[in-house]
Amino acid sequence: MPAQRDAVWVSYTSDTTGDHIMSQAQQSALTRQRVRSAWMFLAPMLVILFCVAGWPLMRTIWFSFTDATIDTMRAGHKFIGLENYFGEYGLFATGKALIQDKWGSAISNTLIFSLISVTLETILGTIVALVLNAEFKGRAIVRAAVLVPWAIPTIVSAKMWGWMMNDQFGVLNHILGYIGVAPQAWVADPHLALFSVVLVDVWKTTAFMALLILAALQMLPKDCYEAAEVDGIHPVKVFFKVTLPLIKPALMVAVIFRLLDALRVFDLIYVLTSNSEETITMSGYVRQEMIDNANVGFGSAAATVLFLIIGACTIAYMKFSKLKVD
């Protein structure tokens, strides 16, 4: 009998092992089939992405190592290595300064604009989202009204605010005159121009941040807030101890999106201040070199540096916020 039981057990084990191996083989084949199908669906998108993003980026990087101009883009330009970056008249090593004065101003203006505007938009967007997340009469109308600044095209917003900030007939100076404040040259004064641009950008883009944060707030469970209300915990403490940690992933994603958008800002500043030296950004500098000065090689070098700065800021922010990129 023991021998018979052992034989039965061995037979059962062999059958079970064989079924398990066959099951794994079937799962592996199914996985491979799914992977192939996924790549088949992704292939057209990857080809289009390469055509509209990858190829222009590679061309820009290549031109940054040449002396190409608008007239010599197709033929006639030559390879000059890192001359546009570190040469005598390069971006980072001129004869008198480590960084060209105008390029340095473009970098500092872009970083100042990005840090101030994104910070203010995040704070104000969070406040607006908390208000819109509350239950009150007419909430749907208020939510729609908040999105109006974001829905207006940037060029239209810039022209609208440019008229409102005009130092002669602008409505802002007209209002200031009623309270006894002298008129201000909002976009012409070097000390106020960048502040004015930040003000317009915050007015327009706060709605974008509020929309993303509101979506995160609506996903939060109600049980936590009901328990906090029963325990008598102050709402401010509930926000910092409960709400903020729960919406942090969505908040960080919103900040990253907004930071990327702010670092490449061009249209708003170009329309409001005509790309003046006090407010010129890296994108404005690239446009000035490539279009106004017809210096495609030098402008491509500036565009490449802008791309690297945006990538570095994104990676640093992700590491700082401890986001996992899969």
Domain presence at residue 114:
yes
State the pLDDT at residue 320: 75
Give phi and psi for 207, each to the nearest 5.
-60, -35
The dihedrals phi and psi of 66, each to the nearest 5 degrees, come to: -125, 175
**Which CATH number goes with the domain that contains 114?**
1.10.3720.10
Residue 205 lies in a domain: yes
In-domain check, residue 110: yes
- What per-residue confidence (pLDDT) applies to 321? 67
Burial of 303 (0-12, 13-18, 19+ CB in 10 A): buried
pLDDT in tens, 67-120: 888 888 787 788 888 888 887 777 886 555 556 678 888 888 999 999 999 999
**Backbone φ and ψ of 85, nearest 5°:** -95, -50
CA-to-CA distance for 74 and 72, rounded, in angstroms?
A: 6
Asked if residue 164 belongs to a domain, the reply is yes
Q: Is residue 215 part of a domain?
A: yes
**For the chain, which residues score pLDDT lower than 50?**
6-10, 12, 325-326
Is 280 inside any structural domain?
A: yes
The answer to whether residue 48 sits within a structural domain is no
Predicted local distance difference test score (pLDDT) of residue 237: 84
Give the structural domain span for 252: 101-320
Per the DSSP assignment, residues forming a β-bridge with 79 are 66
Positive or negative, the Cα torsion across 215, 221, 222, 227? negative
Q: Look at residue 8 in the predicted model and tell me its pLDDT.
A: 46
Query: What pLDDT, on the 0 to 100 scale, is given for residue 97?
Result: 55
CA-wise closest residue to 255 among 321, 308, 204, 324: 321
Record the pTM: 0.80
* 15-56 per-position pLDDT tens digit: 555 555 556 666 677 788 888 888 888 888 888 888 888 888
- Distance between first and last Cα of the chain: 57
Residue 271 lies in a domain: yes
- What is the total count of domains within the chain? 1
